[in-house]
Structure 1
Amino acid sequence: MTTDASIPETANLPTEECWALLRGGSVGRLAVWVHDHPEIFPINYKVDHETLVFRTGAGTKLSAAVGKMVALEADAANTDGGVAWSVVVKGQATALTRTPELLASVGQLLFPWETGRKDHFLRIVPEEVSGRRFRIAAPLTWGSPLDDATRAGLE
């Protein structure tokens, strides 16, 4: 939480800043459509020439993503500074061929957290990139009906 007046409550980020934030991170959430409902998967990604590349194994994530529109959301918070950001990339996911060049470049930089075979590389080619930075608000300033319940519990 912060009281720094120089940090706006909410600011939309320019595309270049969104890419800089994505380059500084490596974990996001991939949203795909599976049959008749959305699914969200945590993934490790890398930025490659203003596209996102990630690895996955065979299964739901792969079949739901390849050749389809997907969304990736990444965020982070600096709790000491009281500032957070969130970036969303929307675009089509395409399968990449496992070439020696791919494995020697971005492939060496992708380290999935989960064990198991991650033989498939996918690239998200963005159609839309958006982001925002905002101050982390103190819970008692949220202005929701839950504030009264929280205060009652503290009194």
Structure 2
Amino acid sequence: MSDTDPVVVLDDAQCWELLRGQELGRLVTHVGRVIDIFPVNYVVDDETIVFRTAEGSKLFELTVNDEVVFEVDDHTDDEAWSVIVRGHAHRLDTAGEVEHADSLPLRPWIPTLKYNYVVVKPDALTGRLFRRESEPDRYGIQQY
């Protein structure tokens, strides 16, 4: 792959670096035929994603089916990127787990009480970097 390729595949280390630099992601859950997406603020702890949530549909759906997709992206004028984490999520319930999670720099963005910590443990991690440039001529002679 050259430096001019418009799409660059990121390795795991690059993906984790990008994830550590953000605070907002999207959690995708599915129960039966229902697929939901939830914006959540999060923190990376080692190589897991941790977020807090209140009782409700998100937590309920995770107890029914713990398979999730978590997505984070960002962009500038010159490039954009996206990282996808596929894995399993579960609520932290031991005193030690919760005590550790309390020490993380994770605070709710809105003034609501969120007593439940959830951790996403990845099974697979993929990321792409996109170079933002002008679109090639669609009607001219193309290279093959």
Identical-pair percentage: 37
Q: What's the counterpart of residue 75 of structure 2?
A: 77
Secondary structure of the 1:131 match is strand
Secondary structure of the 1:17 match is helix
Q: What's the counterpart of residue 8 of structure 2?
A: 11
127-136 or 90-99: bigger deviation: 90-99
Structure 1 runs, 4 residues or longer, greater than 3 Å off: none
User: Structure 1 7/74 Cα, relative in aligned 2: closer, same or farther at 3 Å?
Assistant: farther
Structure-1 separation of matches of 2:124 and 2:76: 25
Superimposed CA distance per residue, residues 84-133 of structure 1 (whole angstroms, 9 cap, x where no aligned partner) = 11000011101112636325422xx1122233121100000100010000
Query: What RMSD in Å do the two structures reach over aligned CA positions?
Result: 2.2
2:66 maps to which of 61, 65, 68? 68
Q: What's the counterpart of residue 33 of structure 2?
A: 36
Structure-2 separation of matches of 1:142 and 1:96: 49
Q: What's the counterpart of residue 93 of structure 1?
A: 89
Structure-2 separation of matches of 1:62 and 1:31: 12
Q: What's the counterpart of residue 46 of structure 1?
A: 43
Secondary structure of the 2:36 match is strand
Contact 1:43 1:112 in 2 (8 A): no
Superimposed CA distance per residue, residues 10-65 of structure 1 (whole angstroms, 9 cap, x where no aligned partner) = 01100110001001111100000144221100001111110110000000001112
Q: Which has the higher helix share?
A: 1
TM-score, length basis structure 1: 0.77
Partner amino acid, structure 2, of 1:83: E
Q: What's the counterpart of residue 134 of structure 1?
A: 130
User: Structure 1 115/134 Cα, relative in aligned 2: closer, same or farther at 3 Å?
Assistant: same
Partner amino acid, structure 1, of 2:51: F
Contact 1:26 1:44 in 2 (8 A): yes
User: Structure 1 111/7 Cα, relative in aligned 2: closer, same or farther at 3 Å?
Assistant: farther
Gaps of at least 5 residues in structure 2 are: 139-144
Q: How many residues align?
A: 134
Contact 1:98 1:121 in 2 (8 A): no
User: Structure 1 143/33 Cα, relative in aligned 2: closer, same or farther at 3 Å?
Assistant: farther
User: Structure 1 75/143 Cα, relative in aligned 2: closer, same or farther at 3 Å?
Assistant: farther
